[in-house]
Structure 1
Amino acid sequence: MNLHRYPELMDRLAAEFVIGTLRGGARRRFQRYADHDPVIRGALQDWERRLAPMAELGPAATPPTRVWQAIEEQLGFAARRQLESRAAEAARPTPAAQSERRPWFESLSFWRGWAIGVTALAAIAFVLAVRSILPLSPTQPTPPTVAQQPESEISHVAVLDNKDAQAVMLISWDPVHAKVKLHRLTDAAPPAGRSMQLWGLPANGHPVSLGVMPDHGDATMPAGEQQPQQYPVLAVSIEPSGGSPNPNGPTGPVVFTGKLLPVS
């Protein structure tokens, strides 16, 4: 297939490849295309650049033990450990050699261990004696544990670009807890006396406001009853302070846009 004739399909496949939802034969086939086509490689690199900031939001993950075992086998570490184990086994003294050792009571290590043991017993006896004559301190009550906050369950993400195709914001949508999270990738801010407003653009119908953003920093905004599947595209517009006076859409210029994509 000539993907150059279908740029939207190529862009979607590149996004799914980077996110990891393109699997099996389709993933291998797209990888072969990218190996020989600089345009497809460019699409992959573009999505890698867009989604790279998401790594900052995810918790650290420990690879399964089988991953390290496979790496060690490929590098030959497992075979090396087997050789070292065999060498150590061969160097271990035989029972006949052990029987030729001096009696235990002539061993310097025995008397050193005996002295250390006696000293430790004396220290323990001293501590017990002191504790027996001191009043017991009242036991401090254990503070109640704080219930853990429910973990985020992100189902959709969007990287919003400016007119120069520079990624400026990362939007993640948690439908389980009805939250939309904003993570700024640059210091983009509205002009003085103005506000930035986030919009969901449905396939049909007028834009729907998802909230007025703070001027600086990250934020979490309530999603209400809105669902991410309703909005294939998100946008940000510059509005009067407090938001657009028109509930059916922006009144100011749209400065950032991006596709809202499922993460799995």
Structure 2
Amino acid sequence: MSEAPDLPEAEAFAAEHALGVLDARERAEAEMRMARDPAFAADVDAWRQRLAPMLDSIESVTAPQGVWTRIEAMLPANDNGAVMNKLRFWRNAAVGGFALAAASLAGVVVQVTQPPVTVEAPASAPGQLLNASLTATSGQPQPLFVAAYDPDRKALIITSLLPPGADRDKVNQLWLIAGQDKPRSLGLIEPGKAKVIALPLDVMARMSAGAKLAVSIEPEGGSKDPNGPSGPIIGLGELSRL
């Protein structure tokens, strides 16, 4: 089945930086790029503003007792400034070790609450943001994927909460199920990663509250069935307005 195209590299990189899913090296690269490229800085700031409403859907997560003490013990003790900088980084990054669902959105909290970049982004009327939590279809109803749709950016951000490397001989395929239409493939998702997907107009027309997103387990390359998934659906969620 045809897949929606990915965003251009620069746009995807800006979205991933705003979402907070880059590693330390990539984040440093993004910050340097923002300093020298006003257009890229404007893209990052625009994504931060568009993702800000997701803050309302994030519940606070309490770290297990003693976790920050253990992290502090691993950091150099002779440089208080460096310790605090590293501690702040690890508090944001290490939260995924004990709360995968919160980790997928924690980066949004960190990035959106930073001082805005002093670059003006083009003004535009905001569209209706949608989000979805795709929960397991068997066993405990825990979230396996989270998604946010931004019509103004013509893009969907999908984050896998599965452990990296899961289903090594299989792939996870994302589907849009809208009304009576047959499922539409939106692409493959790597476990433990976030992906920004640029959506064509015909897919955007079907992105509305009540439509569903699903993830199936498929053989390498994705489903060969022209009518939809060939493997089991492992995650399912309904799009709702933010």
Q: TM range, normalised to the smaller chain?
A: 0.3 to 0.5
Which structure shows the bigger proportion of residues in helix conformation? 1
Q: Which has the larger radius of gyration?
A: 1
Compare relative contact order (CA 8 Å, sep 6+) and give the higher one, 1 or 2: 2
TM-score (norm 1): 0.43
TM-score (norm 2): 0.47
